[in-house]
Amino acid sequence: MLTIKQYVRAESLEQAYELNQKKSNLILGGIHWMKMTTRTVNTAIDLSGLGLGEIVETDDRFEIGCMVTLRQLEQHPGLNAYTHNAIAHAVQDIVGVQFRNTATVGGSIFGRYGFSDVLTVFLALNTKVVCHRAGEISLEEYAQMAQDRDILVKLVVEKAPLQISYQAMRHARTDFPILTCAVSCVNGMWQASVGARPYKASLVRDEEGLLAHGVGEKQAEKFGDYVTEKLNFGSNMRGSAQYRRQICGILVQRGMMEASEVK
């Protein structure tokens, strides 16, 4: 059970950051995940009043505030046009509309959850994370860092020539995924982000030039095998390591074929 002694609506990021330095205090996202944990929080810090709930599109980038909800991601026309609806696909089976109306980008990325559809798709977009103290860090690096007491302020997705497709396997709609996969080609480099292995998503790039001479069924199959070989898989109640290894290649292959069709 989550017990909160004091609630503070932060008036600035600096105030929120200072409050968050105490181990007994906590930043509030949509509170869905945090509510499943048993802990006593001294001061719960609400960032709702700091204007961080917007997606700002400019000529060269998207800036996504940490309080943006998963539903906003799903419905943003510019972001979904740019990602060929990969973002909407990635989040649309997360619980339900009501859940996505309050679950936040900040909580989803800060948590670096193994099962995260959100982390998987943003990794494939070469996203950067902006933290209040640490500044800009690549999401690839941020995903590997241990949770600290900095505040994740926003995500930055720079626009570049992009092909992308999102694929996931679930036992049933709205359940946690068995495997998540986003295949993308950013600035000419093919890569696959695979999560829920059940470990958190990692990126595998085509560093051996398997796809240098174009993408067809054969190359996609090869790349699927290559990605599978590079990653580790584990077992949990949703699937065995062997099963995950088996479907990884297939999802990468499907993703590649779909992504290569979008121009």
Partner 1 sequence: MELKFELNGKNVSTVIEADSLLLDVLRNLGCSSVKRGCESSNCGLCTVFVEDKPVLSCSVLAARVADQHVTTLEGLQEEAADFGAFIADQGAEQCGFCNPGLMMNAIAMFRENPHPTEEEILSYLSGNLCRCSGYEGQLRGIQSYLAFKDAQKGGA
Ligand X SMILES: Cc1cc2nc3c(=O)[nH]c(=O)nc-3n(C[C@H](O)[C@H](O)[C@H](O)COP(=O)(O)OP(=O)(O)OC[C@H]3O[C@@H](n4cnc5c(N)ncnc54)[C@H](O)[C@@H]3O)c2cc1C
Piece of the chain touching partner 1 by CB under 8 A; list 43-51, 54-62, 119-127, 141-149:
43-51
Q: Does residue 36 belong to the site contacting partner 1 (CB under 8 A)? A: yes
Shortest reach from residue 47's CB to partner 1, in Å: 11
Amino acid code (one letter) for 261: E
Q: CA-CA distances (angstroms) from residue 239 to 169, 226, 231, 244, 247?
A: 10, 21, 16, 7, 11
- Compute the distance between CA of residue 94 and CA of residue 175 in angstroms, rounded to an integer: 7
Asked if residue 178 lies in contact with residue 170, where contact means CB atoms within 8 angstroms, the answer is: yes
* Stretch of 90-98, 128-136, 178-186, 245-253 lying at the interface with partner 1 (CB under 8 A): 90-98
Choosing from 14, 24, 81, 96, the residue that interacts with partner 1 (CB under 8 A) is 96
By CB under 6 A, the count of residues binding ligand X is 29
Residue of 17, 19, 25, 34 interacting with ligand X (CB under 6 A): 34
Q: Which does 92 bind (CB under 5 to 8 A by kind): ligand X, partner 1, none?
A: partner 1
Q: Which of residues 118-157 bind partner 1 (CB under 8 A)?
A: none
The single-letter code of the amino acid at 51 is G
Q: Which of residues 185-224 bind ligand X (CB under 6 A)?
A: none
- Member of 177, 198, 224, 239 binding ligand X (CB under 6 A): 177
Which positions from 113 to 152 touch ligand X by CB under 6 A, shown as an x/- string?
Answer: x-xxxx--------------------------------xx
Tell me how far, at minimum, the Cβ of 232 lies from partner 1, in Å: 30
Phi-psi map region of 85: left, alpha, beta (phi>0 left; psi -120 to 50 alpha): left
Question: What is the spatial distance between Cα 65 and Cα 27, in angstroms, rounded to a whole number?
Answer: 14
183-197 in b/e form (b: 16+ CB < 10 A) is bbbbeeebbbbbbbb
d(CA 178, CA 25): 33
Distance CA 66, CA 28 (A): 11
- Which residues make up the interface to partner 1 (CB under 8 A)? 2-7, 9, 28, 30-32, 35-36, 44, 46, 48, 71, 92-93, 95-99, 101-102, 173-174
